[in-house]
Amino acid sequence: MAKQPSKKTGRKHPLSFWTGMKLWQQIFIALVAGLAVGMIIGPPAAAIKPIGTMFINAIKMLIVPLIFVSLVCGVTSMHDMHKMGRIALKTVVIYLLTTAVAITIGLGLGTLFQPGAGIDLGAAMAIEPKEAPSLIDTFVGLIPKNPIGAMADGNVLQIIVFALLFGIAINLAGEPGQKIKQFFDWLAEVIYKLTAIVISFAPYGVFALMAWVAGTYGLDVLLPLGTVILAVYAGCVIHAIVVYGGAITFIAKLNPIRYFQGIAEAQAVAFTTTSSSGTLPVTMGCVQKNLGVSRGVSSFVLPLGATINMDGTALYQGVCALFVAQAYGIDLVFGDYVTIILTSTLASIGTAGVPGAGLIMLSLVLTSVGLPLEGVALIAGIDRILDMARTALNVTGDGAVSVLVAKSEGELDETIFNKAHVLEPEKIPAE
């Protein structure tokens, strides 16, 4: 008969209930606990915000190397230039279409909920409108005159262009190109490992950020603008379930529950950090490891999505534009709605995936239909709360589009998708 383990060796590590949990469970508990702590202790909860800031900085640290290296690997893993062009076209078209649907849902909910009814904006302060760059300037600005400068500035679109050209050059450079390709493949492994290490700290960052938000805003600030918050949150949930859930079910013919399970960690990190660019490393890990999207497709679709695909932001702009119109008693006509849809779609492309960027772009949308910019000031008070939902929707959209594109290109590993395996935290040894 086998010897029973001694009491000593059989004893569990005191923290094993925590370290044995899946990462998404830890993040969820941290989110709820942070909310509770913030509500109970109020503004002093801001004291633990630096822990959250350290976590955000750590994921920001990964953005530039991750985009560059994974995009180069994505291009070099696709020798077929036609296929690459096709993927690019599909990605951009789906991004634009879903964004236009998002803003339409936002306008619909703004009409239904009437968030601005009975709110007096007279006392709000003036806000400077943001100038939209001209189309030609936008195109010229895509080419970095100094790639290192683009990386130092974190100019994601310029980094994408440089990485694409660099990858194409590797493919065309024959034998030396193959050596560089191998080097980048190894480098990518190291950067993915670094990403996993940073992500394992997510629960602590999420806890601190949640406690800070709940402690700073509290219920008193949130209640008067509750309808705007309700409309934006309802819109984000509807868009995620109907548009992405529907596309995953009916177009990709996959189980939508599996999709939402697989992307949950990225949603939680987006929700608390309010930065889709910052969440990119986590989104990348989720779609590759949990959902089975190939590296080639995900390393192309996701960095692009984190920069140009902002369905949550577009939806929020629809709700807020109606909020301001209603608060000022201004009637919008059909043409105004079309203008809002067009400008919001374009504005969401130009919105950086960083906290609060959508609020700045809101001034552009309001200007396009002559709505008073003072409305932005009131929204600013609750913008962090709205930013949490819209950023979570932004990354949900990036992930869903990567699954759709991968499925249509035969680049989806359905065995991984159907398991919806969830990333494990780095386990701490029990003794």
- Residues in contact with ligand ASP by the rule CB under 6 A: 274-276, 310, 313, 351, 353-358, 387, 390-391, 394
What's the token pair of residue 72? 């180069």
Q: Do 322 and 337 contact (CB within 8 A), yes or no?
A: no
CA atoms within 13 A on the CB side of 77: 18
What's the token pair of residue 63? 């953005």
CA atoms within 13 A on the CB side of 375: 28
| CB of 426 vs ligand ASP, minimal distance in Å | 26
| CB of 313 vs ligand ASP, minimal distance in Å | 3
Q: Do 305 and 397 contact (CB within 8 A), yes or no?
A: yes
| CB of 411 vs ligand ASP, minimal distance in Å | 25
Write down the residue that tokens 């990485």 correspond to: 163
Closer residue to ligand ASP in complex, CB, 52/353? 353
Closer residue to ligand ASP in complex, CB, 390/407? 390
Buried b (16+ CB within 10 A) or exposed e, 87-96: beebbbebbb
| CB of 356 vs ligand ASP, minimal distance in Å | 5
Q: Do 311 and 353 contact (CB within 8 A), yes or no?
A: no
Closer residue to ligand ASP in complex, CB, 115/353? 353
Report the distance separating Cα 159 and Cα 161, nearest Å: 5
Report the amino acid identity of residue 424: E
| CB of 306 vs ligand ASP, minimal distance in Å | 7
Closer residue to ligand ASP in complex, CB, 103/188? 103
Closer residue to ligand ASP in complex, CB, 66/412? 66
What is the DSSP annotation of 187-255?
HHHHHHHHHHHHHTTHHHHHHHHHHHHHHHHHHHHHGGGHHHHHHHHHHHHHIIIIIIIHIIIIIS---
Report the amino acid identity of residue 191: I
Closer residue to ligand ASP in complex, CB, 75/366? 366
| CB of 68 vs ligand ASP, minimal distance in Å | 19
Closer residue to ligand ASP in complex, CB, 37/361? 361
Closer residue to ligand ASP in complex, CB, 254/354? 354
Closer residue to ligand ASP in complex, CB, 48/349? 349
Which residue is at the shortest CB distance from ligand ASP?
A: 358
| CB of 63 vs ligand ASP, minimal distance in Å | 12
Q: Which residues does residue 412 pair with via DSSP β-bridges, in sequence order?
A: 293
Report the distance separating Cα 149 and Cα 217, nearest Å: 38
Write down the residue that tokens 């925590």 correspond to: 18
Three-state SS at 74? helix
CA proximity to 72, closest of 145, 158, 192, 159 = 159
Q: Which residues does residue 293 pair with via DSSP β-bridges, in sequence order?
A: 412
Closer residue to ligand ASP in complex, CB, 48/354? 354
| CB of 353 vs ligand ASP, minimal distance in Å | 4
Burial of residue 78 (number of CB atoms within 10 Å: 0-12, 13-18, 19+): buried
CA proximity to 323, closest of 230, 406, 412, 388 = 230
Report the distance separating Cα 162 and Cα 75, nearest Å: 12
| CB of 385 vs ligand ASP, minimal distance in Å | 12
CA proximity to 156, closest of 368, 361, 310 = 310
Q: Do 368 and 340 contact (CB within 8 A), yes or no?
A: yes
| CB of 358 vs ligand ASP, minimal distance in Å | 2
